[in-house]
Structure 1
């Protein structure tokens, strides 16, 4: 079961990792895990702490003002990102990832995804997809997400629900995933 949880975390975060070339080491000090140059429990490697969403007085996510053609293209890229993952189509999935993502290493993400697809059948089910931030070449898509992970040829599975914000950037006229931020429900 521990392996299942580790892979679940891997699949959700998709190998979001530090830009640092240096390996992290635990020196058994009070500062371990909170170093400014590595991912840690406080900021999860997020340099742009402005990523997120806002709830209105009615409890609904506040939508950004986005031109219709751009909104359609961004949401189509988000749908392709989810569909490619659910089909376990690595090429399709990598086609929607930025060439140099800000939130993770592209090669590590691909390798982790291949391992996760070998170990589990994973399905993402999303709802309430909303563009919550938009500027000319950058957009953030909020969604509520349910993740179901099953071991192939077994009845063992785990479910997790949460909210995510996927950050897109425009590359060569197409919207590409550059980072992912997930908040699990308890």
Structure 2
């Protein structure tokens, strides 16, 4: 029975981060949602976001989180709207709506649909973000920090598993709209 929480946690984390397996150079490497993940002993996952400086705006392993100062109010509103839609639609099991929040330049939407539908067929996902902070901003890309509680409930048994961690969601402008480009997540140690 101890394997079920681990499987649930792995499944929810995989779905939460699944779209990050695609990248600009190789959108369909081998089809696994886990392709390209690098992890360390703390459970962090870096999904290979290719940025000019090669890094996200800050470290996920602690330290202070400071809001970017140069974010125009209308852009902040649009970024938060996209992020909330990204969270809310998957929580509600609205796969088509969830897919509209993802960058088609960075995600294989067919893979994302399959992963989301498979996960939602057997479980109920609830992601609860807090402490939303835009930590890096340019006119074409934004990085949104949040603390994230991810809970998964197995429909068949009612068994639940929850994880807490920190996440940076990278959003990009695509055809004038903000879309989720990648996710960096590190789970808190139990």
**TM-score > 0.5, shorter chain as reference:** yes
Alignment of 1:168 with 2:171, yes or no, is yes
What's the CA shift for 1:107? Answer: 2.1
What does 1:94-109 align with in structure 2 at a 5 Å threshold? Answer: 94-101=99-106, 104-109=107-112
What's the CA shift for 1:39? Answer: 3.7
Who wins on radius of gyration, i.e. which is larger? 1
Q: Equivalent residue for 2:161?
A: 158
State which of 13, 16, 28 in structure 2 corresponds to 1:12: 16
Q: TM-score when scaled to structure 1?
A: 0.80
**Equivalent-residue separation in structure 2 for 1:157 and 1:4 (angstroms):** 8
Q: Equivalent residue for 2:38?
A: 40
SS at match of 1:62: coil
SS at match of 1:14: helix
**Equivalent-residue separation in structure 2 for 1:119 and 1:96 (angstroms):** 23
Distance 1:95 1:151, change over 3 A: same
Verify the 8 A CA contact 1:167 1:178 in the aligned structure 2: yes
Alignment of 1:82 with 2:92, yes or no, is no
What's the CA shift for 1:116? Answer: 0.7
Verify the 8 A CA contact 1:53 1:142 in the aligned structure 2: no
Verify the 8 A CA contact 1:98 1:178 in the aligned structure 2: yes
Verify the 8 A CA contact 2:47 2:183 in the aligned structure 1: no
**Equivalent-residue separation in structure 2 for 1:95 and 1:23 (angstroms):** 23
SS at match of 2:85: helix
Specify which structure has the bigger relative contact order, considering alpha-carbon pairs within 8 angstroms and separated by 6 or more residues: 2
Gaps of 5+ in 1: 25-36
What's the CA shift for 1:15? Answer: 4.5
Q: Equivalent residue for 1:34?
A: none
Q: Equivalent residue for 1:31?
A: none
**Equivalent-residue separation in structure 2 for 1:94 and 1:174 (angstroms):** 14
For these two proteins, the number of residue pairs brought into alignment is 169
**Equivalent-residue separation in structure 1 for 2:64 and 2:38 (angstroms):** 30
Distance 1:23 1:99, change over 3 A: closer
Q: TM-score when scaled to structure 2?
A: 0.78
